[in-house]
């Protein structure tokens, strides 16, 4: 039976977990209905390897930026660097960027500076911002709101697992929330409630692979094919069947990631 088409909006195919497996990985994804994936560069110096994966595989797109946990150990990225990368036809997003105070609160000021650089790059390129947020809800909401009031930009809160308040702040700005395997964990009822209260036209799905595999693969290495497991559980959260939910999130992805949608239409 043909699987409903769905997109893994956030994965890390350049990580060593997948070395030598990309052809098989993409084939398994295709068999599961996952016909597109966005692989994310977390350190700008790794952008050539990430870009090469997108160039070698038609279903793969990429985004580039400096992960907040890497800000202290990497050169501060510039708007001009991100603009240059964004000119590639398969670069479809800016990031991931954001704030992470869980392990790296000592670099909070630098993280905030980096975040603002990425936001300006998203404005100038018209590409969506990809946000990582952990244990930094107040600063996250404040900066995103301040910057959006100054000049708008598109954004997805990737692997969203923060508070209802941050979800509301993001949704008020017109941003998207992405559901990862965490939302399928049995004890994630409160998180599912946050998503259930959100507009369905602002929802994406992802793996964040190789991390956070959903049931029935929990505890194993995650991969893009498993987006289908997350989507099936997410469909239940919204009271939809899998095919309807997949079609809705496909439209959402195309609306936000316009370069990927245009590539598909070529």
Indicate the average pLDDT of the chain: 97
| pLDDT at residue 10 is higher than 60 | yes
Residue for token digits 């036209």?
201
pLDDT, residue 266, reads 56
**What is the pLDDT, as a whole number, of residue 219?**
87
Residue 169 scores a pLDDT above 70: yes
Going across the sheet that includes 176-179, the strands are: 6-11, 34-40, 60-64, 91-100, 129-134, 155-157, 176-179, 203-205
What are the tokens at 9?
A: 């909006």
> Dihedral of CA 220/222/225/230: which sign?
positive
- Lowest-confidence region among 186-190, 214-218, 230-234, 235-239: 214-218
pLDDT over 90, % of the chain:
97
Q: What is the pLDDT of residues 21-36, one digit of tens each?
A: 999 999 999 999 999 9
| CATH for the stretch 6-261 | 3.20.20.140
Flag whether pLDDT at 1 surpasses 80. no
Q: Tell me, what DSSP letter sits at residue 4?
A: P
Dihedral sign computed on CA atoms, order 152, 153, 154, 159? negative
Burial of 211 (0-12, 13-18, 19+ CB in 10 A): middle
The pLDDT score that the predictor gives to residue 6 is: 98
Determine the average pLDDT of the residues in 162-177.
Answer: 98
pLDDT attached to residue 2? 80
Backbone angles phi, psi at 255, to 5 degrees: -70, -40
Is this prediction's pTM over 0.95?
A: yes
Distance CA 39, CA 104 (A): 23
Domain ranges of the chain: 6-261
Residues 6+ apart with CB under 8 A from 240: 248
CA distance 54 to 252: 21
């Amino acid at each position: 039976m043909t699987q409903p088409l769905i997109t893994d909006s956030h994965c890390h195919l350049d990580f060593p977990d997948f070395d030598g497996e990309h052809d098989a990985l993409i084939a398994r994804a295709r068999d599961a209905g996952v016909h597109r994936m966005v692989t994310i560069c977390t350190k700008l110096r790794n952008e050539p390897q990430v870009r090469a994966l997108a160039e070698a595989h038609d279903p793969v797109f990429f985004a580039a930026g400096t992960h907040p946990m890497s800000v202290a150990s990497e050169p501060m990225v510039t708007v001009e660097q991100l603009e240059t990368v964004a000119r590639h036809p398969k670069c479809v997003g800016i990031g991931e960027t954001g704030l992470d105070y869980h392990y790296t609160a000592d670099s909070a000021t630098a993280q905030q500076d980096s975040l603002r650089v990425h936001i300006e790059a998203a404005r100038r390129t018209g590409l969506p911002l990809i946000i990582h947020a952990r244990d930094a809800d107040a600063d996250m909401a404040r900066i995103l709101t301040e910057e959006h009031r100054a000049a708008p930009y598109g954004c997805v809160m990737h692997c969203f697992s923060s508070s209802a308040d941050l979800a509301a702040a993001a949704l008020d700005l017109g941003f998207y929330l992405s559901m990862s395997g965490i939302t399928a964990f049995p004890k994630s009822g409160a998180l599912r409630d946050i998503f259930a209260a959100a507009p369905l036209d602002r929802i994406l799905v992802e793996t964040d692979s190789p991390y956070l595999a959903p049931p029935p693969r929990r505890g194993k290495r995650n991969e893009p094919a498993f987006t289908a497991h997350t989507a099936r559980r997410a469909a239940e959260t919204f009271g939809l069947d899998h095919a309807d939910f997949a079609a809705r999130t496909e439209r959402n992805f195309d609306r936000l990631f316009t370069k990927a949608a245009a590539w598909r239409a070529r």
